[in-house]
Structure 1
């Protein structure tokens, strides 16, 4: 049995359902789980989606997590806990894949996974970054060397031990707080090769193309097909585009660097908007502090940068 799962709340539920449809199309033999960190009725979900609620996970200190984290922090903090619960429900599972709600499959990824590895990670970059004022090496280091929007494991003593170690750290160390060495669930992935020596980093050009890849990889359209550096496009990640993402929204202008990616994003937006219209969801997520920070965010960051420049000048003179 092979399983793919994602984790979301009402903010990105439409994205998660778009992902589910792409999974059914390109990985038809897989079970798809949707981890829901919200109080939405599961009756709104289609039959090919298996729901799992955060309140079913018995996370130690759950009430404190819900009170301390923002809504965009608590969702990724729950990701390893959902993985552990899914494996507990399905001891027969041979392969478990996490894909962020903003991922969209274009082809099957079965051919990427060699039989000798227990863990597969997605790198944020596969080559030194080209010069850009929007994204640089330091920002990648802040985010972590591996992209938390995509990973696969084969259940074993080592991979389960890694999940348990990771999960207990997200209880109180998954804030978006770069100055204190935290970046939601993501930075802990840096330790995965230590826990699981049989780890493979997926450097396939057509895998997980998103804002992290625009500067270094060339996505082109050939008729109805898409290629990245001459390899078929397998998956896209639209993190940072369309709704607030703590890591990638700062780099949203990069979408204009590649016209094929921009066109695919517009097509994706139409799919997501249709899903949102069908769901008719309103209100705020049930868990985590609500953060209405998307409006005028870039303007506020620009003002803050100018003020910082002024204080630096004053300090010098």
Structure 2
């Protein structure tokens, strides 16, 4: 029997409790282990299948090294290493929906040390963002949905992953750092049996919904969704989001906003980690800025320092 875990901020606890209900529906005997990348709060009426993860010492020094989002994401393999025991373990992003049983992943985890979900399942023209270069910078595999089973290979994988994240776990694409996710690109080469699952039902999110049909999905992931505006922000993607995923995200938002804990917890600022940088501008504005920047650089090759010389120093 597989078990589940997630890592969340306090403000994501309503999402986690919704996820716990979905797990109980499809896996009545399974538990959802929940770790905070945040300060603890006192919670009323915890779902029976939710198990809180105690403090993990290896993560404590990282609270003042990484931003809130970086800490949330790089915590995942540390928690996995702490939890992995007799049963296979599946990670789901806290803002996820489990829509059925993960039969293929369960079968693979009987033999394979780790099962990954691909961001894309086929090549696409790089006319929209996220594009191929984005995934080369941030990861070919989706760190919001993966599974592992106990064994020597898995132990080596988790130790290697955690070791790298201790010092190289931030978002610095020019230096080859894409938080926890980019490291997954190397795992099929370094750890024998790590299996990238090619299945359109797994790991559906804003960056790949355009290539999925929406028929018989198993996991939806809504990380980055704006619950007030009920849409994905324009800085995340300029790809068309298909109706099936747009409707699913809006319906999920209604459940989150209606959850009894959302009013008290939904806006809490994470207690751990350095402040996150400002949100990026919309992709359309980024493209215009890139075009104008190229034009300025071209003009300055004709007449050096003609435009904005102080900005070139």
Residues of 1 paired with 2:293 and 2:13: CA distance?
A: 37
Q: Tell me the number of residue pairs that the alignment of Structure 1 and Structure 2 aligns.
A: 293
1:308 is aligned to 293
CA drift of 1:188 comes to: 0.9
1:58 is aligned to 57
Aligned-residue CA RMSD in angstroms?
A: 2.5
CA drift of 1:118 comes to: 1.9
Q: Secondary structure at the match of 1:41?
A: coil
The counterpart of 2:275, out of the listed 290, 294, 301, is 290
The counterpart of 1:268, out of the listed 231, 237, 252, is 252
CA drift of 1:210 comes to: 1.5
Residues of 1 paired with 2:72 and 2:289: CA distance?
A: 28
Cα offsets for 1:249-291 (capped at 9, x unmatched): 733443x431111111100111121237546125421110122
CA drift of 1:15 comes to: 2.5
Q: Secondary structure at the match of 1:148?
A: strand
1:81 is aligned to 78
1:180 aligns with 2:165: no
Contact persistence 1:241–1:249 (CA under 8 A): no
Residues of 1 paired with 2:123 and 2:257: CA distance?
A: 35
TM-score with structure 1 length normalisation? Answer: 0.83
Structure 1: gaps (5+ residues):
220-226
CA drift of 1:301 comes to: 4.3
Residues of 1 paired with 2:238 and 2:143: CA distance?
A: 21
TM-score with structure 2 length normalisation? Answer: 0.84
CA drift of 1:208 comes to: 1.6
Q: What are the within-5 Å matches in structure 2 for residues 1-317 of structure 1?
A: 1-44=1-44, 45-53=46-54, 56-59=55-58, 62-63=60-61, 65-87=62-84, 91=85, 93-112=86-105, 113-114=107-108, 115-219=110-214, 227=215, 232-242=216-226, 250-254=235-239, 256-275=240-259, 277-278=261-262, 280-281=264-265, 282-291=267-276, 293-294=278-279, 301=286, 304-305=289-290, 308-317=293-302
CA drift of 1:170 comes to: 1.1
Contact persistence 1:2–1:29 (CA under 8 A): no
Contact persistence 2:112–2:195 (CA under 8 A): yes
Q: Which has the larger radius of gyration?
A: 2
Q: Secondary structure at the match of 2:57?
A: coil
Residues of 1 paired with 2:28 and 2:263: CA distance?
A: 24
1:222 is aligned to none
Q: Secondary structure at the match of 1:74?
A: helix
Moved more, 28-37 or 18-27: 18-27
CA drift of 1:302 comes to: 5.9
Structure 2: gaps (5+ residues):
228-232, 303-313
Moved more, 290-299 or 76-85: 290-299
Residues of 2 paired with 1:51 and 1:279: CA distance?
A: 22
CA drift of 1:233 comes to: 1.2
Contact persistence 1:120–1:152 (CA under 8 A): yes
Contact persistence 1:241–1:252 (CA under 8 A): no
Relative to total residues, which structure has the larger strand share, 1 or 2?
Answer: 1
Q: Secondary structure at the match of 2:145?
A: strand
Residues of 2 paired with 1:21 and 1:196: CA distance?
A: 34
Residues of 2 paired with 1:28 and 1:284: CA distance?
A: 33
Contact persistence 1:240–1:249 (CA under 8 A): no
Contact persistence 1:9–1:36 (CA under 8 A): yes
Contact persistence 1:239–1:249 (CA under 8 A): no
Residues of 2 paired with 1:178 and 1:205: CA distance?
A: 27
1:224 is aligned to none
